[in-house]
Amino acid sequence: MNKIISQKNMGEAWEIPAIGIYRTGKKVESLQIQWDKATGVFDSEIEIYLGNHPKYLVKARTVKINTQSNTDDNLMLAMPMQFKYLRIKYVQKSCTGGELDIFVNYVEY
Q: What is the pLDDT of residue 37?
A: 97
> Distance of CA 50 to CAs 60, 72, 85, 95, 102, Å?
6, 27, 6, 25, 15
CATH 2.60.120 fits 2-108, yes or no: yes
Q: What is the pLDDT of residue 80?
A: 80
The answer to whether 46 and 63 have CB atoms below 8 angstroms apart is: yes
pTM of the complete model = 0.92
Question: Structural domain boundaries of the chain?
Answer: 2-108
The string of pLDDT tens digits covering residues 71-99 is: 999 999 998 888 999 999 999 999 999 99
The string of pLDDT tens digits covering residues 10-69 is: 999 999 999 999 888 998 999 999 999 999 999 999 999 999 999 999 999 999 999 999
Q: What is the pLDDT of residue 40?
A: 97
Q: Is the dihedral of CA 81, 83, 89, 95 positive or negative?
A: positive
Closest CA to 54 of 14, 16, 85, 90: 85
The answer to whether 61 and 77 have CB atoms below 8 angstroms apart is: yes
